[in-house]
Amino acid sequence: LAALPSRAVLFMGSSNAIRDIDLVAERRGDLIVLANRGLAGIDGAVSTAIGATLGAGHGAMGAGRGGLTDTGLPGYAYLGDLSFLHDVGGLLLAPDEPRPDLTVVVNNDDGGGIFELLEQGAPEHRASFERVFGTPHGVDLGALCAGYGVPHTLADSADAFADAVRPGPGLRVVEVRTDRSSLRAARAELYAAVEALLS
């Protein structure tokens, strides 16, 4: 969140995306933060982020800060890879439709990282976990974005990420690859540290 400019629109994806931000980010009152259906449900994440960014200059959110093609507000979406893939068709905009200035950040852990943290992610369920819950997809997001004519950047360092999320024109995707195999242990360690501080 620290890399986002003031007055940006931030659409939070479901599952781990919104939980991660809630867990570690400092509150910023200068952002317009939106989410779809609370913590659950991945339907329409890309499309909702596009609509929210385009609509940010209108109505209750924007109070007339600009037209449909120039809200003056940069948009960002933070999505997990499965949420992104579930609505990737939202990247395909008709030729005469307005284009948002939207950066879609995809946390690509090659599957359903949220399930690592739930009961089915426990060690005793590992034998069937990947096939049933982990659902690794192996999709090349760069090639997929190219098929839609949307620029894609793989941010493999903090500096590359900060550069990739600078405000810019048009719709673009920034991919951050992460490893979900240690997610359960890392979250347990974090919770134990918080519990120790509060005890």
Which amino acid type is present at position 143? A
**Distance, CA of 90 to chain centre:** 14
Give every CB contact of residue 172 below 8 A, 6+ residues apart in sequence.
102, 103, 104, 150, 151, 152, 153
Is the predicted pLDDT of residue 20 greater than 90, yes or no?
no
Mean pLDDT (whole number) for 69-83? 81
The fold adopted by the segment(s) 9-198 is Rossmann fold (3.40.50)
Q: What pLDDT does 131 receive? A: 76
Q: How far apart are CA 7 and CA 50, in angstroms?
A: 16
Model pLDDT for residues 145-188, shown as the tens digit of each residue: 999 999 999 999 999 999 999 999 999 999 999 888 787 788 88
Q: How far apart are CA 191 and CA 197, in angstroms?
A: 10
% of the chain with per-residue pLDDT over 70: 89
Q: How far is CA 7 from CA 41, 87, 168, in A?
A: 26, 26, 14
Model pLDDT for residues 99-153, shown as the tens digit of each residue: 899 999 999 998 877 777 777 777 787 777 777 777 889 999 999 999 999 999 9
Q: What is the mean pLDDT of the chain?
A: 85
- Residue 2 is encoded by which pair of tokens? 């620290």
Q: What pLDDT does 69 receive? A: 41
Q: How far apart are CA 56 and CA 192, in angstroms?
A: 40
Mean pLDDT (whole number) for 51-80? 67
Is the predicted pLDDT of residue 15 greater than 50, yes or no?
yes
Domain spans, the chain? 9-198
Model pLDDT for residues 40-62, shown as the tens digit of each residue: 678 899 999 999 999 886 544 44
